[in-house]
Structure 1
Amino acid sequence: MGSRKASGAGRKRIRSESKPLLGITMGDPAGIGPEVIAKALAQPRVRRLCLPLVIGSQSIMRQTVKRLGLRLDVVAVDGHGGAAFRAGQISVLDPAEQPLSRVKPGVASSEGGAASVAFIKKGVRLAQLGCIDGIVTAPINKEAINMAGCHFPGHTELLADLTKAKESGMMIVGGPLKIMFVTTHLAIKDLPAQLTRPKIEKGIRLAHMALTRLFGFKRPRIGVAALNPHAGEHGLFGDEEGRLVLPAARAARAKGILASDPLPADTLFGKAARGEYDGVVALYHDQGLIPLKLVAFGTCVNLTVGLPIIRTSVDHGTAFDIVGKGVADPGSLVEAIVLAAGLAARRQRAQTT
């Protein structure tokens, strides 16, 4: 299918729609972001739940749709007010003044990194202005954004800076699990030194915030994972539980948060999956991601907690090794859109009651 330019009806027409308007940022244009976006927006389920506006490269979106053989028409728009939301159309808002020319599929580059940052900044700005109801982000490449002079570890830190959030963190949602992370990308050998009581308290606080404000739990039960086997066995296998985790949990309970004492991770996640806890605080990356991906591989969603805007994302990277092969799975992006639409709809209802 081809592409065309659209303009016209403004914000008033869009806000008369009952479905949330979501900005979907392309991520690194050299990655699988364009492919999973095209595949996701071809699904009727997504169209039933939201009005999707792609923020990214119009030319790359058009090339991707053509390569995949999808019966979609890419519509380039000048602003969110000119977006078209009819079946078979993808509205693309491209913040770049010129089409990307030096982005090679599957290769990190400064141009690709700069473009992915520009897409994010545009999406955040539209969300802050209330033009869109939330953003859903396709994956960026950390090497590429650093090549472009954007020195952030990833999306979460960049978004916190752009929105001036006082504190934020990463929650991953998948299947029956909602897991807040105290630390993320950190070497295991550095973990004990990096775990502090304030960081654990923050993780519990953000988990409570997400479960109450975003998911609607009135009194969420939060399971707090221990660091060591058997929760340290009273200091036999380590003292972090008694020295750090337990005091943090007690401090949270003193503020009315239903946080557990540190629990052995090998049993906690099973209890959470069975509904005994509404959310879990994991102390490090693999502690939470292994059970998540066991129960919901390919459909997990990254949710940034603490921002003034709704932001969800995929749970995978740019996958440069499979770009252009047509095999990228859009499952995580579909779930990220579904979650963002649900959160936005819940927020809209709360604002009207």
Structure 2
Amino acid sequence: MALKRTTKAARPVLGLTMGDPAGIGPEVIAKALADRALTRLCTPVVVGSRPVMERTIAWLKLPLQVVDFNPSNGLRLKAGQVAVADPLESPLPKFRMGAATAVTGAASIAFIKEAVTLAQAGSLGGIVTAPINKEAMNMAGFHYPGHTELLADLTKTTEFGMMIVGGPLKIMFTTTHVAINALSPLLTTERIGKAIRLAHLGLTKYFGIVRPRIGVAALNPHAGEHGLFGNEESTSIAPAVKLARAAGIKASDPLPADTLFGKAARGDYDGVVAMYHDQGLIPLKLVAFGTCVNLTVGLPIIRTSVDHGTAYDIAGKGVAEHGSLLEAVKVAARLAKSWSPVTKTSR
């Protein structure tokens, strides 16, 4: 039996996936659960290992009690109770904090799969993901670049992208985890056009901007300087912009990145399409380090995420901050109150 879908007045039920149990995911989730700001935003359900959650809460000496998630009871929880949906058939064997292993990698995948199943069944209004570790995930036999591609596969989504929101900036990425020397062949007109469409979808559907102004970043210094510093602007980016405009999207010409992000921060553009990972993340983290939120655009479910990794170097030390998780919950909760399934973008 699925939970009744949330209304604008209700607190949405959000699934918080534990991520890699050997990272800081369990710690930041536990700290967030003890923060009243979280329960004012949503009714949280932890999707992860119940024993790990219990140990983490006890270690941090938090006034919380773990109970099993039961969607049929409407989540009627007493004060201090934490609902956990644990998909694992047996408790995790002993593992070392801060170390990548196949066991914890497989567990992190199981948590994501369970969260997607619950969200698609209507038992969760959205998913907020704690970080996974790509090495551990690959050790377990799951060869995805990251969360985004795994979620797209699980939901059978073909057009999707990573938008990161922080401070005044909303940035859609054309490529993400790609070596710089491999970028140019990947920046096709089709791929850039897809990023522009997804930026438009994200800004209209998720943020309610009727006719968003999208700044499109150039790849090369000075937007190539008429081919002097590269020609990707004329061969790939400008043709993608032309197609987007023909579809009614307000996209800029390829603009030098060193000025575009400043213009976007001042409000000249509602969103930016970045060509590669660091081009977008450096300005984002300069203006909103620790409060950025990763939003996957195009999925049939809501998914937001923290802007940090598993932080193996501090896992198990009790010093991890939960502010980024709270920011991700804020975005997911706001979206869940007015959510309707994403439809296909126009081509």
SS class of match (1:172): strand
Q: 1:83 offset after TM fit, Å?
A: 3.6
SS class of match (2:37): helix
The correspondence of residues 48-59 of structure 1 with structure 2, limited to 5 A, is: 48-59=40-51
Q: Provide the C-alpha distance between the structure 1 equivalents of 2:23 and 2:74, rounded to a whole number of angstroms.
A: 27
Q: Measured at CA, do residues 284 and 15 of structure 1 come closer, stay the same or move farther in structure 2, by a change above 3 Å?
A: closer
Q: 1:346 offset after TM fit, Å?
A: 2.3
Q: Provide the C-alpha distance between the structure 1 equivalents of 2:160 and 2:332, rounded to a whole number of angstroms.
A: 17
Partner of 2:100: 108
Q: Does the CA contact (< 8 Å) of 1:26 and 1:119 recur in 2?
A: yes
Partner of 1:129: 121
Q: 1:229 offset after TM fit, Å?
A: 1.1
Partner of 1:317: 309
Q: Does the CA contact (< 8 Å) of 1:313 and 1:333 recur in 2?
A: yes
The answer to whether structure 1 residue 285 and structure 2 residue 270 are counterparts is no
Between 85-94 and 246-255, the greater mean CA deviation after superposition: 85-94
Partner of 1:259: 251
Q: Provide the C-alpha distance between the structure 2 equivalents of 1:326 and 1:86, rounded to a whole number of angstroms.
A: 26
Specify the code of the residue in structure 1 equivalent to 2:18. M
The correspondence of residues 12-91 of structure 1 with structure 2, limited to 5 A, is: 18-79=10-71, 81=73, 83-91=75-83
Q: 1:69 offset after TM fit, Å?
A: 1.8
Q: Measured at CA, do residues 234 and 14 of structure 1 come closer, stay the same or move farther in structure 2, by a change above 3 Å?
A: closer
Between 103-112 and 266-275, the greater mean CA deviation after superposition: 103-112
Between 285-294 and 91-100, the greater mean CA deviation after superposition: 91-100
Identity %: 66
Q: Provide the C-alpha distance between the structure 2 equivalents of 1:107 and 1:191, rounded to a whole number of angstroms.
A: 31
1:242-282 deviations in Å (ceiling 9; x for gaps): 11111111110000000000111111111111111110000
Partner of 1:99: 91
Q: Does the CA contact (< 8 Å) of 1:229 and 1:264 recur in 2?
A: yes
The answer to whether structure 1 residue 169 and structure 2 residue 161 are counterparts is yes
Q: 1:15 offset after TM fit, Å?
A: 5.3
RMSD after superposition: 1.7
Q: Does the CA contact (< 8 Å) of 1:110 and 1:144 recur in 2?
A: yes
Q: 1:104 offset after TM fit, Å?
A: 2.0
Partner of 1:4: none
Q: Does the CA contact (< 8 Å) of 1:212 and 1:219 recur in 2?
A: yes
Partner of 2:142: 150
SS class of match (1:36): helix
SS class of match (1:130): coil
Q: Does the CA contact (< 8 Å) of 1:113 and 1:145 recur in 2?
A: yes
Q: Does the CA contact (< 8 Å) of 1:179 and 1:282 recur in 2?
A: yes
Q: Measured at CA, do residues 209 and 150 of structure 1 come closer, stay the same or move farther in structure 2, by a change above 3 Å?
A: same
Q: Provide the C-alpha distance between the structure 1 equivalents of 2:184 and 2:6, rounded to a whole number of angstroms.
A: 49
Partner of 1:195: 187
Q: Provide the C-alpha distance between the structure 1 equivalents of 2:319 and 2:111, rounded to a whole number of angstroms.
A: 24
Residue of structure 2 aligned with 1:230, choices 202, 219, 222: 222
SS class of match (2:96): coil
Q: Measured at CA, do residues 83 and 114 of structure 1 come closer, stay the same or move farther in structure 2, by a change above 3 Å?
A: farther
Q: 1:76 offset after TM fit, Å?
A: 2.6
Q: What is the number of equivalent residue pairs in this alignment?
A: 340
Q: Provide the C-alpha distance between the structure 2 equivalents of 1:24 and 1:103, rounded to a whole number of angstroms.
A: 22
Specify the code of the residue in structure 2 equivalent to 1:200. I
SS class of match (2:267): coil
Q: Provide the C-alpha distance between the structure 2 equivalents of 1:275 and 1:81, rounded to a whole number of angstroms.
A: 46
1:161-214 deviations in Å (ceiling 9; x for gaps): 000002111111111110000000111111112211111000000000111111
1:71-103 deviations in Å (ceiling 9; x for gaps): 222223355646444442221111112111132
TM-score by length of 1: 0.92
Partner of 1:138: 130
Q: Measured at CA, do residues 255 and 12 of structure 1 come closer, stay the same or move farther in structure 2, by a change above 3 Å?
A: closer
